[in-house]
Structure 1
Amino acid sequence: MKYVILLCIILMASCAQVEPKISENPSVASYDSFYNQERAKVLVVGTFHFDYPGLDEVKTAESDKIDILTEPKKSEVTALVNYIKRFNPTKIAIEAFPEWNTNEKFKDYKKGLKNNERDERYQLAMRIAQELSIDSLYPVDAGNMRSELWERDSITFKELFGKIDWEVSDPYWKMAEKSFEQDDRLTKELPLLDYFKRMNTRAAHNFNYGLYLTGSFETGDGQGADHLATWWYDRNLRIFNNIQKITNDNNDRVLVIIGNGHASILRHLYEASPEFEYIEFDSL
């Protein structure tokens, strides 16, 4: 028996020796090397909404809300701003539609008229822009095909998505609720910079993104998948495309301040894009 075992070990060793190691072959170029190595850099800062507008699926309890205009969070915002400024952006994009009149509001902010707005677009984006002498910001939010289809042809819309079970029980969502509760507590317990470093990791983004792929997504004989593609994924693809439009050359350094749900998908898009270099938030 011991000779059989010895023979197996010898065979395994010989196979390991002849197996080609492509990564060590100097004649084999990496996939990434075929693209330009100098690319526009993008820092996506996924955030929660400082003013708690209540528009997201997950609602924060009143007892867990923070006030970024009072201490200690006021000073923590300053530390967060100073950290993000290390990226030294040339352009700043925010989660806003054109009709929000971003740059009119920015003019008011620079006059001191909007300093007490809790919205992160003021407290982070406009503050950073002013301190770095950036004269304008870019609203890059976008609509989606699902909404446009509903407006144009509600009958076809119902045919395309009518089989989806919106009431289906989702065990993964129930599991994730404990994480949501923990995150809400951590906004109070952790310094904001530490909290932002945590929420902008790949693990956090994948956790967020993954919840779109369960529950109703799995129903309707593919209609759940079609709905996600034409609604949430399409919206984020359009946001990505809007950022492409404001990027002129490889020297651009684009700061994107946006809800973390969007940041989860944008990470995937930027990591795959041949046009951009994705900068990890905790690497500054």
Structure 2
Amino acid sequence: MKKLIYGITLLILPFSCISQENRAIKKSTSSKQENLVIKPEHFIGKHKAKVMILGIFHFNNPNFDSYKKQYSFDILKESRQKELEILLHKIAKYNPTKILIESDRIKMNDRINEQYQQYVHDSYDITSKRDETYQIAFKLAKKLKHDKIYCTDAPSEWFGANLDWDSYNREAYLKSTGQYNKTSRYDYNALYRLHDSLTSTQSLTEHLTLINTPSNRLKDHQAYLTETILEGAGDHYVGADSVGRWYRRNLRIFANAYDLTNFDQQERLLLIYGAGHVWQLRQFFTDSPDFDYIETNSYLTK
């Protein structure tokens, strides 16, 4: 009887070992799969990229926004040029590998880089050009010895309701639907006027530090979610579509930045964009597994 039990044990033992080995393999495989899921570096390339967005007010404001600029600011003044040098010195410490600007990628990239190459070789004069593309991006890129600048903006065509815009009266419409009081609870124009006025009293770095503070960027973003979005709810949804169009443009900007990032190198992207873009782009980069977002004020306040 003992011999029989011993024989059965010898027969079962190899199968038991095989079973334990299979379980160990499955556990190891499962663990590796989990690691692949939770570790973003396994998805693409060798490195995550760092990204920083310098939110700016447009030096040569075309006044396309609903708020029209009321206070003067001249970046070409000698005092402002000195302030600009201080700003460039601070941003240069971030040591970006690529500078991305608010200019149409498809239409403007070749033209901007042709100008930049001429500027690098001292054959393109920017002393009369107020735009931040020239005053910040060109000067910073030359200072850092970059070969080129990257245009990453993209238009976003209107995809909402086709209204008779010539006769459409937003205020009258909102009052007729009972939406006016809710959309006008917050006086965002007061915020815009305040920031506009401070451009004439603060130094360049002081003002950019103010507008790049995350709480200020959130407040500006919230205008889309209170003042804009309600218009046409339950009808033509022109407000929601306007916000969607704004998101669409920023998603295209993010897509361009992603496309231009080399994850096999230790990239450090710098985006120079109107401050209104910062909150959404910051969210996209922060949510992405492939970027480490750097707050601009960590350099502006040094």
Q: TM-score range by the shorter chain?
A: 0.7 to 0.9
Tell me, what secondary structure is at the counterpart of 1:158? coil
Letter in 2 for 1:281: T
Deviation track 1:87-109 (CA, whole Å, cap 9, x = no partner) reads 10100100001323220221233
Instruction: Please list the CA deviations of residues 235-258 of structure 1 after superposition, one character each: whole Å capped at 9, or x if unmatched.
Output: 000000000000011510001001
One-letter amino acid of the counterpart of residue 288, structure 2: S
TM-score, with structure 1 as normaliser: 0.77
Structure 1 contact 165–220 (Cα < 8 Å) conserved: no
Q: Aligned AA for 2:145?
A: S
Separation in 2, partners of 1:255, 1:102: 17
Task: Count the aligned residue pairs.
Answer: 240
2:256 aligns with: 242
For 1:69 and 1:172, locate their aligned partners in 2 and report how far apart those are by CA, in whole Å.
39
User: CA offsets, 1:87-132, max 9 Å, x none?
Assistant: 1010010000132322022123332422321100000011100010
Counterpart position of 2:68: 59
Does the CA contact (< 8 Å) of 1:166 and 1:216 recur in 2?
A: no
Compute the displacement of 1:179 (Å). Answer: 1.6
**How far is 1:183 from its partner?**
0.8
Looking at structure 1, the residues matched to 82 and 61 of structure 2 have their Cα atoms a distance apart, in angstroms, of 19
| Match status 1:121 vs 2:133 | yes
Superposition pairs for residues 1-284 of structure 1, below 5 Å?
34-36=39-41, 38-61=47-70, 64-97=71-104, 98-100=106-108, 101-110=111-120, 111-144=123-156, 146-147=157-158, 149=159, 157-158=161-162, 166-167=170-171, 168=174, 169=180, 170-172=183-185, 175-221=187-233, 223-224=237-238, 226-249=240-263, 251-284=266-299
Letter in 1 for 2:56: T
**Do the aligned residues in 1 keep the contact of 2:101 with 2:152 (CA within 8 Å)?**
yes
Q: Is the 8 A contact 2:96 2:269 kept in 1?
A: yes
Give CA deviations for 1:198-223 in whole Å, capped at 9, x if unaligned. 11111011011100112341132362
TM-score, normalised relative to structure 2: 0.73
Alpha-carbon distance change, 275 to 189 in structure 1, aligned in 2, over 3 angstroms? same
With over 3 angstroms needed to count, the CA separation of the structure-2 counterparts of 1:261 and 1:172, relative to structure 1, is farther
What root-mean-square deviation, in Å, do the aligned CA atoms of Structure 1 and Structure 2 show? 2.5
**What's the secondary structure of 1:50's corresponding residue?**
coil
Q: Identity percentage over the alignment? A: 32
Question: CA 1:83–1:171 in structure 2 vs 1: closer, same or farther (change >3 Å)?
Answer: same
Question: Structure 1 277/118 Cα, relative in aligned 2: closer, same or farther at 3 Å?
Answer: same
Tell which structure's C-alpha radius of gyration is larger: 2
> Structure 1 residue 271: deviation in Å?
1.5
CA contact (8 A) 1:47 1:259 kept: yes
Q: How far off is 1:224 after superposition?
A: 4.1
Greater shift after overlay, 111-120 or 79-88?
A: 111-120
- Structure 2 segments unaligned to the other structure (5+ residues): 1-36, 175-179
Task: Tell me, in whole angstroms, the C-alpha distance in 2 between the residues paired with 1:172 and 1:264.
Answer: 22
| Aligned structure 1 segments of 4 or more residues deviating by more than 4 angstroms | none
